Structure 1
Amino acid sequence: MNSLLLIINTLLIMTHTLPPLPYAMDALAPKMSKETLEYHYGKHLQTYIDNLNNLIKGTPYENMTLEEISVKADGPIYNNGAQAWNHAFFFNSFSPTPKSAPEGALAEAIKRDFGSFDAFKEQFGKAAIGLFGSGWTWLAADKDGKLVIVSESNAGNPLKKGLIPLLGIDVWEHSYYIDYRNRRADYVKNFWDIVDWKVIEKRFKK
């Protein structure tokens, strides 16, 4: 009986897995190379997921989603869980044939809160380039739909603050060093060429 219960409990534990990419590994080149994706997506993200699965065994977090872990956890579980969520969100923001600018309600909100789309990109880019060390810069919305730019160190994301992430850029060096070496500004500039605003609009509508 104890063996049967152990098997059942093991089956009930949520195992996090590497999410599939919505494009081929070489589809974003040269803005983001196949080699970068092989390391950033295939190795760094996989490591966060493997670490998380090991860390959550026997804890209250073992059946939580990545989003729940990102909101409720702290310490190593938060670091690995939030990084897994951040990266899955990040990689799903791109397309080899992206919609290059927002329309509709999102475009209106950007104009309302930043002055214009170009002004938003300038503010977002300055925040991403200026973030000291490793971390993320985010476009997020509050519950009333007001848009804000938030920079977070390390694994930080806006979920922890009750905000709704819409777009994030990873400025850890491993995200750009293969393609751009230490030229973070060039990485941020080319980031806009692969962001698919159709995806970001869907997130805003939700």
Structure 2
Amino acid sequence: MNRRIHVLATLPFTSEEGLRPLLSRDTLNILQGLQRSYLHRVNKTVQGTDLAAFNLYQLVERTHRDSSQALLHHYSSQAWNMDFWLQGLTSHHRPPLPALVQAIERDFGSWESFETMFSESAGAIPASGWTWLVQRQNGRLTIMNTYNAGSPMFVNMRAPVQANPKREEGGSFSALLGMTKPPVQEEQTADVVAPILALNMWEHAWIRDYGLDRDAYIRNFWKCVNWSRAAVILNLY
């Protein structure tokens, strides 16, 4: 049996001073400590089982409907979500590429409307969760929240699947997200979604730096988004 050891990914930015203005060094250290804890628990749980050969995405996919694997699902999903979020941040903020702007304006009316809707969705999470920009199977972009350790790829949006030619999955995309292809939902009315952008709304991501001012945390998020990565992911879908 081949065993995959899950380790902490290298951050795409220099972390000695945190990621200003979004995250202080102390908060970033806490977040990476949580990631290590999640990964340690994943490695310990799958050791000696058939699940030991799977990457994080595959573990999330295989455990999200299995109540007997609830803890493994939580740890693997939280680790995957955290990595996807942090990998989408940058200390060298650049304007979004025209192709991404066009897609956003097509589906949200304007870039300003998109940022407002995304920020309001994040602010509406009552406790712990994530806010996502996702692409639906019909090619359209939308915003959704998941709660606790929920990952958007496995949330049934209960929307009719619309005919849309599937794009080929590239090797670079698989390496980027650690996945093979979006899972096919069991229900015929399910809508497969693919994440483009994420924001961590768990308390540990903002309480130390912002106190109770979550709005300031959300505002600073926009100053650290790696729009080039978001555009690349959108193009690869």
TM-score (norm 1): 0.90
Say what the alpha-carbon RMSD is for the aligned residues: 1.3
Q: Are residues 1:66 and 2:56 paired?
A: yes
Which residue of structure 1 aligns with residue 177 of structure 2?
A: none
Moved more, 84-93 or 157-166: 157-166
For residues 203 and 8 of structure 2, what CA distance do their matches in structure 1 show? 21
Which residue of structure 2 aligns with residue 103 of structure 1?
A: 97
Instruction: Give the count of matched residue pairs.
Output: 194
Which residue of structure 1 aligns with residue 218 of structure 2?
A: 188
Q: Are residues 1:39 and 2:33 paired?
A: no
Which residue of structure 1 aligns with residue 3 of structure 2?
A: 13
Q: What letter is aligned with 2:87?
A: N
| 5+ residue gaps, structure 2 | 65-69, 156-191
Q: Looking at secondary structure, tell me which structure has more helix per residue.
A: 1
Q: What letter is aligned with 1:147?
A: L
* Secondary structure in 2 matching 1:61: helix
For residues 163 and 70 of structure 1, what CA distance do their matches in structure 2 show? 15
Query: Where do residues 84-123 of structure 1 align in structure 2 (5 Å cutoff)?
Result: 84-100=79-95, 102-123=96-117
- Partners of 2:18 and 2:28 within 8 A in 1: no
For residues 54 and 99 of structure 2, what CA distance do their matches in structure 1 show? 32
For residues 67 and 36 of structure 1, what CA distance do their matches in structure 2 show? 25
| 5+ residue gaps, structure 1 | 1-8
Q: What stretches of structure 1 move > 3 A for 4+ residues in a row?
A: none
Which residue of structure 2 aligns with residue 48 of structure 1?
A: 38
For residues 70 and 112 of structure 1, what CA distance do their matches in structure 2 show? 32
- Partners of 1:27 and 1:96 within 8 A in 2: no
Percent of matched pairs sharing the same residue? 30
Q: What letter is aligned with 2:24?
A: S
User: C-alpha deviations, 1:56-82, integer Å up to 9, x for none?
Assistant: 123332111111122221311111111
For residues 50 and 196 of structure 2, what CA distance do their matches in structure 1 show? 28
For residues 58 and 149 of structure 1, what CA distance do their matches in structure 2 show? 39
* Secondary structure in 2 matching 1:62: helix
Q: What letter is aligned with 1:110?
A: I
TM-score (norm 2): 0.78
